[in-house]
Amino acid sequence: MSTNSFVFDASIEGHFQTQWQAPSNIALIKYWGKHGQQLPQNPSISFTLSQCVTTTKVSFSPREELNDKHFEFLFDQKKQSEFYPKIQLFMDRIMPYFPALEGHSLSISSQNSFPHSSGIASSASAMAAMALCIVDFERQFHSDWSMEASFQKASFLARLGSGSAARSISGPLMVWGQSDVFPQSNDHFAIAPSEEWHHIFHDYQDTVLIVDKGQKRVSSTVGHKLMQGHPFATQRIEQANTHLKQLKNALTSGDLELFIYLTEAEALSLHAMMMTSSPSFVLMQPNTLAILQKVWDYRAQTGLPLCFTLDAGANVHLLYPLKDRTPILDFIQKELVFHCQQGQYIEDQVGNGAKKI
């Protein structure tokens, strides 16, 4: 696919203000390993969440002098310089696709619905919200643009900020990365496939157990790099593709046994890749393992379809159908919260994507 269709190089100038809310997402088939400019090694699929969101307001105004500050960024109403390098990199990467941005200064103000220090990856929702605001500015100059076209560009730009952010645009399930299993899928932006997902997944629950609120010892960006030359890279890419095909069947048929098997296999493969890269690293913690063991025991004892997935960190996402919420939440509170840092957990569920505020 040529990326030229994403270039908008009209010379425009104006004042504009907009605000968007973008959700976090949790991958079922994991994106791990990238090449070129933020292109994935394998296709991934995620549930869009509904409670964990970033809300971002951007004001655009013509820049008087090119050496003026290009953007200022407030997080929770405060200047937070630690975010600047990531935003600067994002701006540098998106500029060729919207060069008129260079002539504007952006005042960005952002906040999360979840605690920033919860160890929950916020870059997906943050980059998606920012991309949606920028695309909304561009949208004024495209009278012919459908919502679908602007969401595609938002996903494309969000990806340049953080790969998983490409999936934080729409919902309830998003596919990013080319796969024969989803004919519209591609490496440049994520799509919401038109499949009829089984109704059990429309309001699937995700309870996030906060095992460690701290900064990760190895960032995702470094982890992705370690997939280059990884001894199991070829097998991992093959596995992700096979898993995606099987998971599509589980998601359309409602086969929870298959869903659970694939979701947990993906989480463990992701962490196995970390443990077998060079240098190797481990992001799970003793409490992570204790939770996984208890989830397996609980499932064996009760037959209830509770399963886990993991991000690139120690926290555990517990996935289960809404109809089983009462006994499962009871189990979480009695047996698992004890393993969380300061007993912290977040209740979330599958959602339908970003919205303009």
Binding site for ligand DP6 (CB under 6 A): 27, 30-32, 38, 44, 121, 123, 162-164, 220-221, 224, 270, 311-312
32 versus 97: smaller Cβ distance to ligand DP6: 32
Q: How far is the CB of 223 from ligand DP6 (least distance, A)?
A: 7
Residue 31 beta carbon to ligand DP6: minimum distance, rounded to whole angstroms: 3
The secondary structure of the chain in percent helix, strand, coil, rounded to multiples of 5, reads: 45, 25, 35
For residue 177, give Cα distances in angstroms to 46, 157, 189. Answer: 12, 15, 8
Choice between 283 and 328, CB closer to ligand DP6: 283
Element (DSSP H or E) covering residue 42: none
Report helix, strand or coil for 88: helix
| Residue 249 CB, nearest approach to ligand DP6 (Å) | 20
User: Tokens in use for 24?
Assistant: 């976090």
Q: Would you say 100 or 354 has its CB closer to ligand DP6?
A: 354
Single out the residue of 163, 142, 170 nearest to residue 20, CA to CA.
170
The CA distances from residue 116 to 111, 120, 187, 221, 299, in Å, are 9, 7, 29, 19, 32
Asked if 138 contacts 153 with a C-beta cutoff of 8 angstroms, the reply is yes
Cβ distance to ligand DP6 smaller for residue 100 or 121? 121
Nearer to ligand DP6, 60 or 119 (CB): 119
